[in-house]
Amino acid sequence: MTIIVLVSVSLGILFGMFFSGSYIVHNLDFLSQVTLAILLLSVGLDIGSNKSTLSNIKDKIYSILIVTLSVVFGSLFGGVTTALIFNMQLNEGLAISAGFGWYSLSGVILTNIGNAELGSIAFLSNIFRELITFLIVPLVAIKLNYLSAIGPAGATAMDTTLPVISNNTDSNTTIVAFVSGVLLTALVPILVPLLYTII
């Protein structure tokens, strides 16, 4: 799986660099949205195939809250630590880490209310977060536990990285991941500007 991830992304980067005028590049948003939709239909089928999982979603509320709050706390703590390492303002570090992997939105928000460099760091760090997620979810699922494997994903647990979580854990964990991803996604547009301006 790790090899597939690295090869696909590398080929994609090379393709994007050398064929920037191609059909794929011009229609990239559309193409990835369609692929994502098909992929998520397949993930939904996976969840639905296990009826017993759906019946006890109430028992999962604690897991969902624990995962969501832990990701918020862990990400912001990581953001503050990075800001201290690079001698950046604390509000910048907090705002970048509150992207929770949703690079397009956090990048755009911080470019607008902050500056271009801040926006770029937010964009890149959240892209990297998504890439790292693809690579380490299988490892965390085996070495620690299934719920911990949701941690890297953050907001992306509801879409792009949900397949890798569902492939490496069980359907219980997949549902917790999806709901926590929805909650974290909803928090991004609130927390990023809030942390940047208030603190």
Partner 1 sequence: MWSIAVTVTLGIVFGIYIKWTDSLKKINSKFQVLGLTVLLFFMGVSIGSNPEIISNLSLIGLKAITFSLLTVIFSVLTIFTVTHMLRRNLS
Q: Which of residues 58-87 bind partner 1 (CB under 8 A)?
A: 62-63, 66-67, 70-71, 73-75, 77-79, 81-82, 85-86
30 vs 198, beta carbon nearer partner 1: 30
| Type of residue numbered 114 | G
- Among 137, 120, 125, 97, which residue's Cα sits nearest to residue 5? 137
Give, as ranges, the residues between 172 and 191 that touch partner 1 (CB under 8 A).
178, 182, 185
Distance in Å, CB of 197 to partner 1, minimum? 19
Give, as ranges, the residues between 136 and 155 that touch partner 1 (CB under 8 A).
136, 140, 144-145, 147-152, 154
C-alpha 113/C-alpha 107 separation (Å) is 10
Distance in Å, CB of 65 to partner 1, minimum? 10
CA distances from 127 to 143, 156, 190, 197 (A): 24, 10, 20, 23
Give, as ranges, the residues between 6 and 65 that touch partner 1 (CB under 8 A).
8-18, 20, 24-25, 28, 31-33, 35-49, 51, 54, 62-63
Under the binding rule (CB under 8 A), the answer on residue 5 touching partner 1 is: yes
Residue 3's CB is within 10 A of a number of other CB atoms, namely 7
96 vs 193, beta carbon nearer partner 1: 96
Per-residue contact track with partner 1, 102 to 131, x per CB under 8 A?
---------------x--xx-xxxxxxxxx
Q: How many residues bind partner 1 (CB under 8 A)?
A: 96
